[in-house]
A and B are shown apart, each in its own frame.
Chain A
Amino acid sequence: MMQIMEGSHAVAEAAKLCRPEVVSAYPITPQTHIVERLAEMVADGELDAEYLCVESELSALSVCLGSSAAGSRVYSATSSQGGLMLMAEVVFNVAGMRQPIVMSIANRALGAPLSIWNDQQDSISLRDAGWFHLYGEDVQEMTDQHFIAYKAAEQHDVLLPGFVCFDGFILSHTYEPVDIPTQEEIDAFLPPYVPYNKLDAKAPISMGMYAPPPDYYMEFRHETDQALQRAGAAISAAGKEFGEMFGRDYSGHTESYRMDDADVAFVALGSLCGTVKDAIDEMRADGIKAGLVKIRTFRPFPATEIARALAGVPKVAVLEKNISLGSAMKGAVGPEVKDAVTGTGIDVYSYVLGLGGRDIRKKDIRAIAALAEKGVGNTFYGLRTEVL
């Protein structure tokens, strides 16, 4: 049913519809409204789940890991350094122990300096942890991605956790019309979780064992990587099935917007794509042939799909709400896009922008297109040079 709903509350509804048996989270701006609403749902008897209050995010994800290992479907949500970064040790363990937890990330900048505002540094910084990463552009997409995430994560040839990422405040605190499926519809799409391994006193096992010599460590890392590659197909299949049931297709890891005969293509993740699409419409009206490749799945990285989408475009501008400090291209996404099109002669540039919640406007997108045309890139965009 279509409703006007705050992004965080839509995510809480989505989490509820997935029937998690355990929810554990610690409130942190800008994720707080999600877990606040879920706590209300449990207290009001709308959601039959254990809601475990903990003293920190490290504890929250540890509770989730243990609960998932015991065979439950588990949900959490977090953000930024006090949250996701504090969880980091467990984030890697969840993937290594192959527990299909789904966690929402209301993207926020990392300190220092302290910022509560949006960029994507938090989730991007944990791109190597073994979780799959989905990025939503609007409230509808980020809501739907939760259903897809559980469906893909719990496939027995995947068994990996996933982040559903969306821009803090810009999406988490924005009211938009959103179609919330019914419980019956989601029950038909997402069957109950069937664990592959679980902790059971009658048939005891340990998980995440020490891998001593003779060494198995590399082989386990290899297996996790293979599973994450398979997650790509599972996400795509779940996105296709979701499309057939609900009319919103998410089978693609990327979405192309006005890419036909484009002279310059933007690559972006998340809410920024909406602004970019509007800017492209204006540029096209003025005769500038621009297009967008939106990345919906960042891990596993859809290199083949990106290469296909960018084929024949001379200049590519990757818009980065993150910085890989000390790297040559500056953004973390740019090198992967560049690698995807290596040998094709396409020029790929990174532009770091919008850090710590700095506004990004249509005129900025147009200015970046002009920089890319001139071959100027791998740089910050929009620095206040007067304060440097």
Chain B
Amino acid sequence: MALRIGCAAAPGRAQDNKTGSWRVFMPVVDMEKCILCGTCVLICPETAVSDKDGQILFDLDFCKGCGVCARECRAEAITMIQEEK
């Protein structure tokens, strides 16, 4: 992106900012332990967690690694691991 004078920008969507680059810790789910309660899906402040066909999916383009999902998981199925970049 070329810089625009005065840091001016046309209207856009927050989705254009891939905030996943801020992440230090990455969530990993153990599907052996997961009870598919959906708490992580509901609680993620970035709506970066979804469930599909019995799997929990993290959208790493937007997951900032806050760890709320891991903290709230009653089955303790989610762990935060340091990400190698």
Residues of A within 8 A of B (CB): 96-99, 159, 196-197, 204-209, 211-214, 216, 219-220, 223
Question: Is A208 a contact partner of B7 (Cβ separation < 8 A)?
Answer: yes
Which of the residues B8, B17, B19 comes within 8 Å of A206, measured between beta carbons?
Answer: B8
Closest to A211 in B: B7
Bound-state CA distance A219–B4 (Å) is: 11
Question: Is B3 a contact partner of A216 (Cβ separation < 8 A)?
Answer: yes
Residues of B within 8 A of A (CB): 1, 3-11, 17, 19, 21-22
List 25 contacting pairs A-B, 8 Å CB cutoff, sorted by A: A97-B8, A98-B6, A99-B6, A159-B5, A159-B6, A197-B5, A197-B8, A204-B11, A205-B8, A205-B9, A205-B11, A206-B8, A207-B6, A208-B7, A208-B8, A209-B7, A211-B7, A213-B21, A213-B22, A214-B21, A216-B3, A219-B3, A220-B3, A223-B3, A223-B5
Q: In the assembled complex, which residues on chain B have CB atoms less than 8 Å from the CB atom of A206?
A: 8-9, 11
Question: Is A204 a contact partner of B17 (Cβ separation < 8 A)?
Answer: no
Q: In the assembled complex, which residues on chain A have CB atoms less than 8 Å from the CB atom of B6?
A: 96-99, 159, 197, 207-208
Question: Is A204 a contact partner of B10 (Cβ separation < 8 A)?
Answer: yes
Q: Chain A nearest CB: distance from B48 CB in Å?
A: 17
Listed from nearest, the 8 A-B pairs whose CB atoms lie closest are A98-B6, A97-B6, A207-B8, A209-B7, A197-B8, A209-B9, A205-B8, A207-B6
Question: Is A220 a contact partner of B21 (Cβ separation < 8 A)?
Answer: no
Bound-state CA distance A98–B6 (Å) is: 5
Closest to A214 in B: B21
Closest to B11 in A: A204
Most buried by A among B1, B7, B8: B7
Q: Chain A nearest CB: distance from B35 CB in Å?
A: 35
Q: In the assembled complex, which residues on chain A have CB atoms less than 8 Å from the CB atom of B4?
A: 197
Closest to B22 in A: A213
Q: In the assembled complex, which residues on chain B have CB atoms less than 8 Å from the CB atom of A196?
A: 5
**6 additional contacts (CB under 8 A) given A212-B17, A216-B3:** A96-B7, A97-B8, A159-B6, A205-B9, A208-B6, A209-B9
Closest to A99 in B: B6
Q: Chain B nearest CB: distance from A92 CB in Å?
A: 12
Q: In the assembled complex, which residues on chain B have CB atoms less than 8 Å from the CB atom of A220?
A: 3, 7
Q: In the assembled complex, which residues on chain A have CB atoms less than 8 Å from the CB atom of B11?
A: 204-206
Q: In the assembled complex, which residues on chain B have CB atoms less than 8 Å from the CB atom of A97?
A: 6-8
Bound-state CA distance A197–B1 (Å) is: 18
Closest to B19 in A: A212
Bound-state CA distance A207–B9 (Å) is: 6
Q: In the assembled complex, which residues on chain B have CB atoms less than 8 Å from the CB atom of A159?
A: 5-6
Bound-state CA distance A94–B17 (Å) is: 25
Q: In the assembled complex, which residues on chain B have CB atoms less than 8 Å from the CB atom of A209?
A: 7-9
Bound-state CA distance A212–B21 (Å) is: 10
Bound-state CA distance A196–B6 (Å) is: 10
Q: Chain B nearest CB: distance from A93 CB in Å?
A: 10
Bound-state CA distance A356–B19 (Å) is: 51
Closest to A156 in B: B5
Q: In the assembled complex, which residues on chain B have CB atoms less than 8 Å from the CB atom of A98?
A: 5-6
Bound-state CA distance A98–B4 (Å) is: 10
Bound-state CA distance A283–B22 (Å) is: 65
Question: Is B10 a contact partner of A205 (Cβ separation < 8 A)?
Answer: yes
Bound-state CA distance A302–B3 (Å) is: 27
Bound-state CA distance A208–B3 (Å) is: 12
Closest to A205 in B: B8
Q: In the assembled complex, which residues on chain B have CB atoms less than 8 Å from the CB atom of A204?
A: 10-11
Q: Chain B nearest CB: distance from A48 CB in Å?
A: 27
Q: Chain A nearest CB: distance from B20 CB in Å?
A: 10
